[in-house]
Amino acid sequence: MDIFSIILWPIKWAIELILVAFHSLWTFLGLDPDAGITWVLAIVGLVIVVRAALIPIFVRQIKSQRRMLEVAPQLKKIQDKYKGKKDQFSREAMSRETMELYKRTGTNPLSSCLPLLLQMPIFFGLFSVLNDASIHAERGGVGALTPTLADSFSNAEFLGAPLNSTFINEWNAMIAGNPYDLSTMLVAVTMIILMTASQFITQLQIVSKNMSPETKASPMFRQQRILLYLLPLVFAFSGVAFPLGVMFYWLVSNFWTMGQQFIVIRNMPTPGSEAAKAREARLARKGKLVVEPPKEAADDVAKKPTTQRSQPVSKNRAKKQNRK
């Protein structure tokens, strides 16, 4: 057993437990235990469990993005300081000052990728579960996946395409003149398009709606622009090699991310962004917008004397008051 298999073993064990639990639930509710839709819904259940467990990480990601907004002007100053300087010493100094700023403020420009990176072991674990189920159906999986369930999982089909099949395998068979499954290729291409589109829309929501003008003028904006086009390409090129079961997980996870991001941008937008202005407009139409006074005005009110100024009096009235 190689080191990669040792690392994946506990992950595969947890994946099999969750899959079997949801498969038992859908079977109890009347679905065919060997039907592809039953196993697809079990994969959807796996997505729900994993993404719910990642919600605290997502909250930390939002907080880190807020801190990135705060340091955006400082990043811009560092960038302007070394603008036009292309020598190695200047580049190293700029990189060093930028990293010191990240360390001092507790920010991380790659925080937006953290939920995706944490899910990568799940992708590979599910890939291994599907692969092992088709190869070793007679002995089952490493955990709750019995031989009977492993055989059912490996032979399950959705829209006529086996869940353990890949686009690249069918493509290679077609090129070699061997029998191939056209339905598998069509389903795989459709899912790759949906995965790429959903990932692009999710990143576009952040770049176009949830960034302030200060952030758009900082190096962080360029990084987000790169991710806008890079991540969908990663999904497109890697999707051809993943089994359909793994792509179902990937697609449902993308939909979860897209919906989660929409809710956050709508209700907790970045201050100064287009989404924040849209939220203020919605609250104003409903009469729920609370406008806070500027900080300077609030300080002036706090410093204002509370005692009333004495009214001026005439000399005769002052003499009468003194006699009293």
pLDDT of 268-320, one tens digit each?
Answer: 777 777 777 888 888 888 877 665 554 444 445 445 554 445 555 555 555 55
Cα–Cα dist 75/109, whole Å: 11
The radius of gyration of the chain's CA atoms, rounded to the nearest angstrom, is 30
What pTM does this model have?
0.72
H helices within 82-210, ranges in order?
A: 88-105, 114-135, 147-155, 167-175, 182-209
Separation of alpha carbons 127 and 139, rounded Å: 18
Q: Does residue 107 contact residue 60 with C-beta atoms inside 8 Å?
A: no
Taking only the tens place, the pLDDT of each residue in 79-98 is 778 777 777 787 788 888 88
| Helices of type H across 106-166 | 114-135, 147-155
Give pLDDT tens digits for 10-33.
888 888 899 999 999 999 999 999
